[in-house]
Structure 1
Amino acid sequence: MTLSQLPLPLILPNNENFDSFYVGDNQLLFDSLQTLFDKEGFNVFYIWSASAAGRTHLLHASSQNKLASYIPLKQHVLLVPEILQGLDNYDLVCLDDIDAIAGHRDWEEAIFDLFNRLTEKNVSKLLITASAPPKQIPFMLPDLVSRLTWGQVYQLKELNDEDKLKALQLRAKLSGFELSTEVGLFLLKRVNRDMRTLFSLMEEFEVATLAQQRKLTIPFIKHILDL
């Protein structure tokens, strides 16, 4: 097996864990995911949502203290389906953005085969993310769609503006600085409001506040972002 075919170890961001995830209207999903490893044998957990709603964050959080493998299927053109070989030896297998390989028969067959191996060994957990429920993704293999619905399927609901503010304040608190309601609302009005962009900005603000030993204010944000 070549280097490009080896399963990818999961490199976890330090700030993407269950404590830093703002639940919003996703309490049932959140609670169920946290108890996934309490269940015996092979289990499938499928999360779908709009882009940048936080499903990869949950994938990373679930992988804490686990022997986990992460396959970013949006990058399937840089990988080969053989990368899925041997994954039945992991505690957790993470297939991120499975809809990206829909219509690619070699990948679909490889994932179907992975399901069969995991089922036979009956140990690992399989955590899958996508942009839509299994039956709404144009897979070529009906049997793969069937496998994807074996376990729990949840929609990760997007945060409203009030919850986005609370999520940003939580991230700021965990990063060691304060985001006031006034500053947070200003930010939500002036920049792209998807959570991936907002959290990237929070990392930038963390560095700036530490470097300059300043509180995060609206004038300071304008200076940082050149607004």
Structure 2
Amino acid sequence: MEQLVLDLGLAPVPTLANFVPDGNEPVWEHLRLWLQGPLHEPLLLYLWGPTGSGKTHLLCAVAQALWGRGEAVGWLGADVLHPGSFDERWSAVLLDDVQHYTAEQQAAAFNWFVHAQSPASGRLRAVLACGDRPPADLPLRDDLRSRLGWGHVYRLQPLDEPARRAVLRRAADERGIVLSDEVMDFMLHRFARDLASLMALLDRLDSYALRTQRAITIPLVRAMLAAD
């Protein structure tokens, strides 16, 4: 199976509004209600599930919502090799893909967690984290692993094929792309089928079609692969 490299720079900004909650309604509703309320209600939440189930999307959606309210947040992804210290201005700490954290990242995550949930002064901050397995199974230091399981823990389910088709169709329509059933079948059966990869593929196809001034067809997809 051929897979395209994910280009997150082209992906639409993740929000709660463009998250498809099919099968994951409880956590989507939980976050929606929390973001509507006062931030002094400290949220402690851990999300887990396979690649493409929407974990990072939801964390990014929370970050976008808080930034939109003028709030500062601390973000620690596995690609942040040398995280700084906790910032008192933060309203929330967001820990992404914790199963990949190095020893340095784990130390920073633990420090952020303690400052957020047990501050020496001031209010508590929210901590939202995600990984690919339950907290108890994470390959992390004991003190961090145990704390990630203190709050609400939700398992996210990937979208089924009809839901993925609906999301692709909506995304194509929003971009003004004519995406035939034939091309959609080709995308779903020949490439990585998680939603993040499919959306990245759609963005790559859109960009390539614009550069080449061609409609999106199966020959165009093959031509793009050949060019890559």
Q: TM-score, normalised by structure 2?
A: 0.77
SS in 2 for 1:84: coil
The equivalent of 2:82 in structure 1 is 79
Q: Deviations over 1:158-182 (max 9, x none)?
A: 1222222222222222333232333
* 2:34 partner letter: L
Does 2:112 align with 1:127?
no
1:67 matched residue in structure 2: 72
Matched-pair contact (CA < 8 Å) for 1:42–1:118: no
Residue 100 of structure 1: how far off its partner (Å): 1.9
Q: Do 2:75 and 2:95's aligned partners in 1 also have CA atoms closer than 8 Å? A: yes
1:107 Cα deviation after fit: 4.4
Aligned-residue offset at 1:94 = 1.4
- Paired residue secondary structure (1:93): strand
Aligned-pair identity in percent equals: 27
Deviations 1:107-137 (A, max 9, x none): 4444333222212333422221111111111
Q: Which runs of 5+ in 2 are unaligned?
A: 1-8
Residue 167 of structure 1 is matched in structure 2 by: 167
Residue 113 of structure 1: aligned partner: 111
Map of 1:21-40 to 2, 5 A cutoff? 21-37=19-35, 38=37, 40=40
How far is the alpha carbon of 1:204 from its aligned partner? 1.1
Name stretches of at least 5 consecutive residues in structure 1 with no aligned partner: 1-10
Letter in 1 for 2:93: V
- Mapping for residues 1-227 of structure 1, pairs under 5 Å: 14-37=12-35, 38=37, 40-64=40-64, 65=68, 66-72=71-77, 74-75=78-79, 78-80=81-83, 83-86=84-87, 88-101=88-101, 104=103, 107-119=105-117, 120=119, 121-141=122-142, 143-226=143-226
Aligned residue identity for 2:160: N
1:189 deviation in Å? 1.2
TM-superposition CA deviations, 1:76-122 (whole Å, max 9, x none): 6x315xx1322x421232111112237x3x54444333222212333
Instruction: Please give the alpha-carbon distance, in whole angstroms, between the structure 2 residues aligned to 1:34 and 1:225.
Output: 39
Q: Deviations over 1:138-163 (max 9, x none)?
A: 3332x433321222211111122222
Relative distance call for 1:48 and 1:84 in structure 2 (3 A) is farther
| CA 109–212 in structure 1, closer or farther in 2 if over 3 Å, else same | closer
Q: Which AA in structure 2 matches 1:75?
A: D
Contact 2:11/2:200 (8 A) holds in 1 = no
Q: Within 2, Cα distance between the matches of 1:31 and 1:178?
A: 32
Deviations 1:15-59 (A, max 9, x none): 322233222211112111222232533221211111233221221
**Structure-2 separation of matches of 1:215 and 1:114:** 49
Give the letter aligned to residue 33 of structure 2: T
Instruction: Give the letter for the 1:134 counterpart.
Output: P
Question: In structure 1, what is the Cα distance between the partners aligned to 2:172 and 2:18?
Answer: 10
Contact 1:48 1:156 in 2 (8 A): yes
Task: Give, in whole Å, the separation in 2 of the partners of 1:217 and 1:168.
Answer: 15
Contact 2:82 2:105 in 1 (8 A): no
